[in-house]
Amino acid sequence: MCSPEHFAVEYAINPWMDVTTPVDRELAVKQWDRLRETLVGLGHQVHLLTPEPGLPDMVYAANGAFVVDGSVYGARFKHEQRAGEAAAHHAFYAEQSWRFVAPSETNEGEGDFAYVPEAHGGLILAGHGFRTEIAAHAEAQEVLGRPVVSLRLIDPRFYHLDVALAALDDANVVYFPGAFSAASQRVLTQLFPDAVIADDEDAMAFGLNLVSDGANVVLNSEATRLAGKLKAAGYNPVPVELAELKKGGGSVKCCIAELRH
Ligand code: ARG
């Protein structure tokens, strides 16, 4: 995770960002802190990246890389405004002993890649259409040695995979079908017949942008309806308020890069 100490909406690279809406940075830091405390309270270890001035989106740490089984596929940001973030993530992995592979193709890390370890022996789900290039899906498969399933995103409000789909445990996912092309919806139905299905309201509340440890599902507090569906499916929803960070087009999952050893 990376503190929003320098968070701002200074440019608009997704439909949620409005440079004329003021951001309360102090409140953003407070809300982000609660998220960090929530994860620690659930027994998870949180590592921190040092935020850098001039990189106002650095709080969305999920975009910096994608890690599977100790191997790290680095990010290469689509927009020049965020390009500088990749080096900070690279340095983090280099300091510890991860196998880091630098990308040639444009991809925004966990923003567009999800991993479901027990689905069909270990599946990578990958989004394209707005940020990550489909060529990066093939590159990720070569780097990580797991099958990558390409899914086409069609709604600019859901510009990253992680605002439309999330892994709930080692084998199942939750997603909002309307964010995907008709063919990609069929692929998801085939792969995950028992998926939890979210609707437009859940997605607009940033409910899909969640992080789950298989039992506890940390999600945006606005997504009350989705929380109910997850509870009915046997999970424990843990709501966290992240209204300030929504102004940048992100929520819980965007703030968290998962380290999979
Ligand atoms: N303002 C950031 C961007 O548009 C938000 C990134 C959200 N992160 C995510 N993993 N979806 O790039």
What's residue 184's pLDDT? 99
What's residue 49's pLDDT? 97
Domain chopping of the chain, boundaries: 25-255
Q: Name, in order, each residue with C-beta under 8 angstroms of 97's C-beta and a sequence gap of 6 or more.
A: none
Contacts within 8 Å (CB) and 24+ apart, 179-185: 179/153, 179/154, 179/155, 179/203, 180/151, 180/152, 180/153, 180/154, 181/151, 181/152, 181/153, 181/154, 183/152, 184/150, 184/151, 184/152
Length of the chain: 261
What's residue 209's pLDDT? 98
Pocket of ligand 1 contains residue 132 by CB under 6 Å:
no
Pocket of ligand 1 contains residue 248 by CB under 6 Å:
yes
**Vertex 195 angle, CA 141 and 231, to 5°:** 125
Picking from 154, 156, 160, 194, the residue whose alpha carbon sits closest to that of residue 177 is: 154
Atom of ligand 1 nearest to the CA of 159: 11
Given a cut of 90, whether residue 177 has pLDDT beyond it is yes
How many whole angstroms from its chain centre is CA 74? 14
25-255 folds as L-arginine/glycine Amidinotransferase; Chain A (3.75.10)
- The encoded tokens of residue 97 equal 């002993």
What's residue 144's pLDDT? 98
What's residue 219's pLDDT? 98
Pocket of ligand 1 contains residue 146 by CB under 6 Å:
no
Measured in Å, residue 179 CA sits from the centre of ligand 1 at 16
| Range 170-176 average pLDDT | 98
Measured in Å, residue 52 CA sits from the centre of ligand 1 at 16
Residue pLDDT, tens place only, 223-261: 999 999 999 999 999 999 999 999 999 999 999 999 998
What's residue 97's pLDDT? 84
Measured in Å, residue 56 CA sits from the centre of ligand 1 at 11
Residue pLDDT, tens place only, 8-42: 999 999 999 999 999 999 999 999 999 999 999 99
pLDDT > 90: what percent of the chain?
99
Atom of ligand 1 nearest to the CA of 82: 12
What's residue 51's pLDDT? 98
Pocket of ligand 1 contains residue 57 by CB under 6 Å:
yes
The confidence band for 7, taking pLDDT boundaries of 50, 70 and 90, is: very high
Pocket of ligand 1 contains residue 77 by CB under 6 Å:
no
C-beta atoms surrounding 19 within 10 Å = 11
**How many CA atoms lie less than 13 Å away from 232 in the CB half-sphere?**
10
Rounded Cα–Cα distance for residues 109 and 29 (Å): 23
Picking from 186, 174, 177, the residue whose alpha carbon sits closest to that of residue 149 is: 186
Give the SS3 label for residue 151: strand
What's residue 251's pLDDT? 98
Q: Which residues are tagged catalytic?
A: 160, 254
> Please, is 142 exposed, middle or buried when counting C-beta atoms within 10 Å of its C-beta (0-12, 13-18, 19+)?
exposed
Atom of ligand 1 nearest to the CA of 248: 1
